[in-house]
Structure 1
Amino acid sequence: MRHCAVCISLFLASMLFFSLVPLSAQDPVVVRPVPVDSLFPEPLADQRFPRFALSFPALLTHAIDTMESDGYGGIREALEFGGVKSLVRLSPGSDDGLGIELALGAGIFTLFDAFEDDLDNFGWEGSGFLALQYKPTYRFAAKFGLHHLSSHVGDEYLANYGVIDAPIADDGELAHGDTYGFFYVRDSLLLGLSYQLSPLVRIYGEVRYSMRMLEYMYCYNDFPWQAGGGLEVVLKPNSVSPGAEYREGWGSWYVAADVSMYQESSWFPSTTVQVGYLVQSPSRGERFRVGLEYYYGRAPLAVFNHTDSTEPTAWDSIPLEQYIGIGIWYDL
């Protein structure tokens, strides 16, 4: 699998290199500070892409322990806060929708069990990236940069399971807690591609290599790779040529699927599928969606997938969860 991930990275790098030719031939170049949109399209079904969201997953099977007496995991509440904004863009004078830009993204994901027992906060994750994003044509986009992920177990979860006393007295209680792993941190290089196959269909992929492994990641020195990708179908056409409107009318029905794989989890394909209705701002990059979401894969909070073993977690030992839910998503 490691050799496969290396080959994928080299392929993505070569695609990025050869795509630089079209833009370099366009002249003149205009500097545009803080453009309203992003050159790299936001993935619709990627659960950890920075955005504002509120969703209510109903668990069919669960791996994160709860106080439920049966196998049903109850209804959870997921809140997300964040977004992606372009800082500065270099584009051909004739079209500000193409070019190369520096983009910043950051977000927080929190997971609650607000509708069952006394278990409130499972945990939270903070993520962000700083990337160069490149779009030489209206079909193709690429990005390369740095990505950060830190995942944390919630204090209320720890208190309810007797790991710590509530309230927390000092850091010493956390340091000696016999629970899921602490200090789940990944600082990674990322490389991504997006391609508009047709006016209706887009595919994308991303590879990350974690560089921060030391004491924060225990034995993760051997498991630095992460990969993912997705497919999106929007029933009203996207623009694939200069000057065309991105979308006409109020909005569009859409179907999107995203797959996320970690080397530490033996490349298990955690899969998200969304079906819903999308409304795009006609003059800005904002996008609002409402829909249904299905998920089957490893526990959504990365810290619950912590492993101290010297080998990746085998598929039959991965903490798997499955749910169907309703959500509202807002992309900046």
Structure 2
Amino acid sequence: MPTRLPTAARLLLVALACGVSAATSARSPRVDPFVEAVRLAERPVVQTSATSGALATDHGLLPPAYGVEGGFEPLPVAAPPVGAVAGWGYDSGPGFGWQLMPDGLIYRSYLAGPREPRLALHSFNNRTPIQKSENLWDATLGGRRGILRYGDYDPVSPVGWQLDLEGAAIVRLNLDENRDVDASDFRFGVPLTYTAGDGVAYKFGYYHVSSHLGDELIARTGVNNRVNYVRDAIILGVSRHVTPDLRVYGEMAWAFFTAGGAEPWEFQFGAEWSHAGPTGFAGTPFLATNAHLREEVDFGGDWTLQAGWLWRGDTGSTLRVGLHYMNGQSTQYQFFDRWEEQIGAGLWMDF
């Protein structure tokens, strides 16, 4: 039968064990082996490059991090989202590569731009020299989507190059005349956009726009004075975030083909403000203004002011409601040389 140690002896052994443990800890920075094992199990699996000593991952090479016993400590790398395309070329850094149908836009549409591709509805009273006053809806049925990106995987503020497709039908409905279609403009574009992540973004591309007079307006008035307004243009734009909340921009376009009174040059510039980042259900106030100058009206044009409330999602898409004011030449190209003043409200959704 084993002999039980006296209480004093047992206390002495416990004290010695504690002293040895403390001395060992002083000589080595290792943590508890069970905690270390769990941490290593949760660490991303990486391999050390035989040539540079950097850490090879699925998304490029990571530089080594010193100060950890054993040589290197791998840096955590976020996996690309589902749908990211691998193997199209080299990666210039962690999380940087080719993507097909990426989420988010590098160069976003102008909030107060009346001819941007989006889902929108303006309801307003319109004063003109001819009709004096009329109640109208301007509905935009369209959108914009990235099709190819070489850059990072951030959906809100991506960095790199991106090719987009955009398209929209901008239709005017007359509320005073049984919601007749008075006119419609159709737009299609292919913009190439770029940013280095320094708050400045660039846009270069092509767009086509054509205008059509509504059959119902022709049947109602008997007047068929449709103009075949067409533009095929090359566009160049620059956008800068002065602060995370404030964006200013400017762009110019030159049309290599025109018809129906359109002339080659146009310029657009403006500013917009709203709190940056996803807003959640609370949303944020917004304020936006835009000016558009066109050669065919002696570089006059239209000025738009919008203010209201905005909600922004995790991919940068926005939903807005607010007040709308426009003064200048008509935003419908079928009436491109007619002065209008629009006062009303709107609902806008940008992708």
TM norm. shorter chain > 0.5: yes
The aligned counterpart of 2:349 is 330
- The CA deviation string for residues 35-75 of structure 1, in whole angstroms up to 9 with x for no partner, is 1111002210001100001120112x215x54xxxx2x121
List aligned pairs for 1:72-111, cutoff 5 A: 73-92=133-152, 97-111=158-172
Matched, 1:41 2:108: yes
Classify the secondary structure of the residue corresponding to 2:125.
strand
The aligned counterpart of 2:190 is 130
Flag structure 1 segments of 5+ consecutive residues without an equivalent: 1-24, 164-176, 239-244, 306-317
Classify the secondary structure of the residue corresponding to 2:316.
coil
Deviation at 1:26, TM superposition (A): 5.5
1:255 to 273, 282, 287: 287
The aligned counterpart of 2:209 is 149
AA partner of residue 125 (structure 2): A
AA partner of residue 305 (structure 2): V
List aligned pairs for 1:166-315, cutoff 5 A: 177=224, 179-181=225-227, 183-213=228-258, 217=259, 220=262, 223-234=263-274, 236=275, 238=276, 245-247=277-279, 250-282=282-314, 284-305=315-336
The percentage of counterpart residues that share the same residue type is: 27
List aligned pairs for 1:24-63, cutoff 5 A: 27=93, 29-59=96-126, 61-63=127-129
Structure 2 CA distance for partners of 1:279 and 1:218, relative to 1, 3 Å? closer
AA partner of residue 146 (structure 2): S
Number of equivalenced pairs: 259
AA partner of residue 44 (structure 1): L
Task: State the alpha-carbon separation in 2 of the partners of residues 229 and 262 from structure 1.
Answer: 12
Structure 2 CA distance for partners of 1:201 and 1:219, relative to 1, 3 Å? closer
Task: State the alpha-carbon separation in 2 of the partners of residues 93 and 329 from structure 1.
Answer: 26
Deviation at 1:135, TM superposition (A): 1.2
Residues 52, 81 of structure 1: 8 Å contact kept: yes
Flag structure 2 segments of 5+ consecutive residues without an equivalent: 1-90
Deviation at 1:138, TM superposition (A): 4.5
Deviation at 1:286, TM superposition (A): 2.0
Residues 107, 126 of structure 1: 8 Å contact kept: yes
Structure 2 CA distance for partners of 1:111 and 1:289, relative to 1, 3 Å? same
Deviation beyond 4 Å, 4+ runs, structure 1? 92-96, 245-249
Deviation at 1:200, TM superposition (A): 2.2
AA partner of residue 50 (structure 1): P
Deviation at 1:250, TM superposition (A): 2.6
Residues 144, 189 of structure 1: 8 Å contact kept: yes
AA partner of residue 172 (structure 2): L
Please say which of residues 259-268 and 85-94 is displaced more in the overlay. Answer: 85-94
- The higher radius of gyration belongs to 2
| More RCO (CA 8 Å, sep 6+) | 1
Deviation at 1:120, TM superposition (A): 1.5
Classify the secondary structure of the residue corresponding to 2:257.
coil
TM-score (norm 1): 0.73
Residues 150, 160 of structure 2: 8 Å contact kept: yes
Residues 117, 143 of structure 2: 8 Å contact kept: yes
Structure 2 CA distance for partners of 1:277 and 1:106, relative to 1, 3 Å? same
Task: State the alpha-carbon separation in 1 of the partners of residues 105 and 201 from structure 2.
Answer: 10
Classify the secondary structure of the residue corresponding to 1:330.
strand
